[in-house]
Amino acid sequence: MAEAPESTTTSATGPGAKAPTRAPAGRRRPGAPASGGTHRGFPSALARRGRVDGVDGLRTLAVALVLVYHVDPGLLPGGSIAVDLFFTISGFVITRLLLAEYARTGSIALLAFYRRRWLRLVPALLALCAVCAALDATTTLWGFDGARKAAALSATFVVNLVRAAEPGPYSDLTGPLAHTWSLGVEEQFYLLWPLLLLALLLRFRARTVLLCTAVLCVLPVLWRWFLWNPDAAHRIYNGTDTRADQLLAGALVAVLLARLRADDPRLASLRTAAARLAWPALALLLLAAWRMPVTQDAGAWTAAWYTAGFLAVAAVSATLVTELELRPDGRLSRLLSVAPLAWTGRNLSYGLYLWHYPVVRFLASLGMKEGRLPATVLLTGVLALISYYVIESPFQRRGRASRRPGRAAPRGPRSSVDRGRARGG
């Protein structure tokens, strides 16, 4: 999923800073002081409070790969691998924000978190569903036949469950909204992960939370080995339980970086390793997108991909995220932080992901063959801009306004998450 995260901006201190200075104590809420001034075992959790431009640029690259893959799979047969990258980015960003809230308040306001997720994702998704349903009801475009049923499935985040239950070739039941399977995976994951993370944080020390997250990353691999047979490919590809390690890999990076102080020598080693591995990691992802038919039957290679391969991609994606987080002045970060890339990833990636596949079906229904890729890019970009300015931004402002001083706020600790994206987004 391509949703933009709530916040990814660098600050002058913390894990990504050059100087090995101690992370600032941050502002504490009365009645919930951080124990021993250590931010409850996560000394760097409050070091970053905004966006990391390089991560936003990486999101733009990912949504571009998915778009090209859906327009012409022959150009990028493995372009769907970008969804795996989205999952890991989402797990990192959301978990980092949850940890920052816990470090500051001693808890996580779960209802407030779910409300912000709803405001971030659902209004734009409902608008997409309404347009597709209207095209189904009022036109004869084959690409939108049955879109009213698909809209109901998409709006309730169960497309992935429907696809997982189909043993043979995918039916057209989910039609122009089939791509929203990834939203289903993310939202089902985020129904459970904040609850589990909070339980771990309240019960165990930070080191144990880190170990538990690492163990959780391995469990889906074992589960996929148990489930694997060629007839189970759809079940594995679309299942939240079988995809959870890709989101948890990002969460693991967030927990690890929050655990280490800026002057911890282990952080310096991690920064050096990420710098050495980041470019090879990016090359591997692009090579896989270019040459590897991810969703086709390739015998033993497919079996390896559907079992251990998902975690391998998550590890490569986590390497990229770590590099961008720890080295905002590195060459890769500077490349991905170019203003158009960062702005698009920050503001339009969710809308681009939502609208691109219905646009592909729309143009195909019109019989367009020549120039379909540039036409898809142009029309999708226009629709994403409309979605951002007309739907997404107003709802996000509403979510932020409800938390300003002088307005009613939900009881209990308030989250640091200002905008609603694991996925995805």
Q: How many CA atoms lie within 13 A of 310 on its CB side?
A: 31
| Contact between residue 363 and residue 20 where contact means Cβ atoms under 8 Å apart | no
Q: How many CA atoms lie within 13 A of 45 on its CB side?
A: 28
Q: 29-68 pLDDT, tens per residue?
A: 333 334 444 467 888 878 765 678 999 999 999 999 999 9
Nearest CA to 1 among 134, 107, 150, 154? 154
Number of neighbours of residue 235 by Cβ within 10 angstroms: 20
Tell the residue number behind the tokens 């709530």, with chain if given: 6
**Cα 203 to Cα 375: distance, rounded to the nearest angstrom:** 53
The dihedrals phi and psi of 50, each to the nearest 5 degrees, come to -140, -145
The dihedrals phi and psi of 44, each to the nearest 5 degrees, come to -105, 5
What is the identity of the amino acid at 47? A
Q: Is 19 exposed, middle or buried (0-12, 13-18, 19+ CB in 10 A)?
A: exposed
Q: What's this model's pTM, rounded to 2 decimal places?
A: 0.84
**Cα 295 to Cα 227: distance, rounded to the nearest angstrom:** 17
**pLDDT score of 16 more than 90:** no
Model confidence at 400, pLDDT cuts 50, 70, 90, reads low
| Contact between residue 199 and residue 107 where contact means Cβ atoms under 8 Å apart | no
Model confidence at 325, pLDDT cuts 50, 70, 90, reads very high
pLDDT at 222: 96
Model confidence at 124, pLDDT cuts 50, 70, 90, reads very high
Q: Is 372 left (phi over 0), alpha (psi -120 to 50) or beta?
A: alpha
| Contact between residue 187 and residue 160 where contact means Cβ atoms under 8 Å apart | no
Query: What would the two tokens of residue 253 be?
Result: 């990076």
